[in-house]
């Protein structure tokens, strides 16, 4: 069993779903990882997204240190991945798409 305290998120891939779907009565047709560009209008949007998605990590910090930590994460990220000319920030992600039929 994995240690949830060490990593609160885990994302399953096509290999796991390939096995699970038949066990639940589904026939897999397509299991595909699709690249996605998570775009925010500016660094404040990126900060807001991190604030709402990283809480399993940030809740481990003292409350009075969370905003400073997230601000530093945004600054560090944007140094490596600057905003585009319009000021939009981009985070490369992937999304698992599953297409299956019952039976």
Task: Show the 3-state SS of 33-45.
Answer: EEEEEEEECCHHH
Please give the residue range of the domain that contains residue 68. 31-102
Task: Please tell me the predicted confidence (pLDDT) of residue 3.
Answer: 52
Whether residue 23 lies inside any domain: the answer is: no
**pLDDT tens digits, the chain, 103 residues: what are they?**
445 456 667 788 999 999 999 999 999 999 999 999 999 999 999 999 999 998 888 999 999 999 999 999 999 999 999 999 999 999 999 999 999 999 8
pLDDT value at position 32? 95
Residue 78: inside a domain: yes
Contacts of 3 (CB under 8 A, 6+ apart): none
For the chain, report the end-to-end CA distance as a whole number of angstroms.
30
Within the chain, how many helices (H) and strands (E) appear? Answer: 4, 2
The pLDDT value given to residue 19: 93
pLDDT at 55: 87
The whole-number pLDDT of residue 57 equals: 87
Could you count the other beta carbons within 10 Å of the beta carbon of residue 50? 20
Domain count along the chain: 1
Question: Does a structural domain hold residue 20?
Answer: no
């Amino acid at each position: 069993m994995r240690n949830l305290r060490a990593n609160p998120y885990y994302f399953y891939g096509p290999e796991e779903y390939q096995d699970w779907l038949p066990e639940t009565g589904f026939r897999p047709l397509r299991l595909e990882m699709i690249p996605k560009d998570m775009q925010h209008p500016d660094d404040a949007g990126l900060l807001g997204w991190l604030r709402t998605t990283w809480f399993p990590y940030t809740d481990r910090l003292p409350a009075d240190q969370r905003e400073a930590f997230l601000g530093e994460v945004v600054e560090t990220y944007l140094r490596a991945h600057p905003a585009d000319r319009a000021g939009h920030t981009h985070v490369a992600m992937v999304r698992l798409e599953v297409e299956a039929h019952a039976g």
